[in-house]
Amino acid sequence: MSHIVVPNHVPQKDAWRITLTWPVINQGREVAFLIEGAGKAQVLHEVFLGPYQPDTYPSQLIRPASGKLALLLDVAAASKLPTPKNSDSTGTLELK
Q: What is the pLDDT, as a whole number, of residue 2?
A: 81
- pLDDT score, position 1: 57
d(CA 72, CA 69): 10
Three-state DSSP class for 65?
Answer: coil
Helix (H), strand (E) counts: the chain: 2, 4
pLDDT recorded at residue 35: 96
What's the confidence (pLDDT) of residue 62?
96
- The answer to whether 43 and 6 have CB atoms below 8 angstroms apart is no
Q: What is the pLDDT of residue 13?
A: 93
pTM of the model: 0.79
Q: What's the pLDDT score for residue 23? A: 95
Contact (Cβ atoms closer than 8 angstroms) between residue 65 and residue 27: yes
Number of C-alpha atoms within 13 angstroms, CB side, residue 94?
1
pLDDT tens for each residue of the chain, 96 residues long: 589 999 999 999 999 999 999 999 999 999 999 999 999 999 999 999 999 999 999 999 999 999 989 999 999 999 999 887 765 666 666 665
